[in-house]
C-alpha cells in the first residue's frame, strides 16, 4: 500500500458519450481517479508506479480497457511523457495514450471500493452513512487496499495507529494479508 494515496474513485473518462455506465460505456475508458498527498509522494512517483504495475498492450483493442494517462496541466504531461520514454529506453513497449483530462464520470456504486464491499464486517468499520461517504472516504480507500491484498502487516500497523481500527477488523485484515502472502 502506498503511503500518500488518500482517496480513489472508479469511473469512466476520455470519451464523448454523456453519462456513461458499465453497460453503455460508449467511447470512454474505465479509469481510476486518485488524490494523493504531495508530502509523501510526487506525480513522478505515481508515474513510476503506473509504468511498472500495469499491462499496457491493450490486447483487446477496445477503448474500454485501453492504457491511458490523463494529465491536468503541462507539467504533468511532461512528467508522463518523460517516464514513458525512460521505460521504453529500457526495452519496454507501452501502448499508452497520454491525453488531457476533460471529465470524469463516477462508475456505479458496486464498482467503488470493490474489495472492501466483499467484507461486510470490515465495511462497518468505515461508518459511512451514504454511498458518497464511502466513495469519498480515505479510511475506506485504505481498507479497500488491504482487502484487495495490497497491504503488508507493516502497512496494517501504520494504518491501525492512524485510523484506530477495531480489533475484529484487525483480525480479519491479518487473515486477508496472510492469505495473499501464501
Which domains does the chain carry?
Answer: 5-106 (3.30.1060.10), 113-180 (no CATH)
* C-alpha angle 1-162-49 in degrees, rounded to nearest 5: 20
- pLDDT per residue over 114-145, tens digit each? 999 999 999 999 999 899 999 999 999 999 99
State mean pLDDT over 67-87: 95
pTM across the whole model: 0.89
Three-state SS letters, the chain: CCCCEEEEEEEEECCCCCCCCCCCCCCCEEEEEEEECCCCCCHHHHHHHHHHHCCCCCCCCCHHHCEEEEECCHHHHHHHHHHHHHHHHCCCCCCEEEEECCCEEECCHHHCCHHHHCCHHHHHHHCCCCHHHHHCCHHHHHHHHHHCCCCCHHHHHHHHHHHCCCHHHHHHHHHHHHHHCC
- Under the banding of pLDDT at 50, 70 and 90, the label for residue 34 is very high
- pLDDT per residue over 90-117, tens digit each? 888 888 899 999 999 999 999 999 999 9
Amino acid at each position: 500500500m502506498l503511503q500518500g494515496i488518500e482517496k480513489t474513485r472508479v469511473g469512466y473518462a476520455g470519451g464523448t458519450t454523456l453519462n456513461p455506465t458499465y453497460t453503455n460505456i460508449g467511447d470512454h475508458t474505465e479509469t481510476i481517479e486518485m488524490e494523493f498527498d504531495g508530502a509523501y509522494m510526487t506525480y513522478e512517483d505515481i508515474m513510476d508506479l503506473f509504468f511498472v504495475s500495469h499491462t499496457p498492450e491493450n490486447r483487446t483493442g477496445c477503448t474500454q480497457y485501453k492504457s491511458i494517462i490523463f494529465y491536468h496541466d503541462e507539467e504533468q504531461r511532461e512528467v508522463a511523457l518523460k517516464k514513458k520514454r525512460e521505460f521504453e529506453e529500457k526495452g519496454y513497449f507501452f501502448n499508452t495514450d497520454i491525453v488531457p483530462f476533460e471529465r470524469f464520470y463516477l462508475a456505479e456504486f458496486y464498482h467503488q471500493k470493490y474489495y472492501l464491499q466483499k467484507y461486510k464486517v470490515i465495511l462497518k468499520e468505515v461508518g459511512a452513512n451514504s454511498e458518497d461517504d464511502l466513495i469519498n472516504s480515505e479510511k475506506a480507500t485504505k481498507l479497500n487496499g488491504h482487502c484487495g491484498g495490497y497491504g503488508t502487516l507493516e502497512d496494517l500497523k501504520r494504518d491501525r495507529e492512524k485510523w484506530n481500527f477495531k480489533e475484529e477488523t484487525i483480525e480479519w485484515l491479518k487473515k486477508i494479508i496472510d492469505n495473499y502472502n501464501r
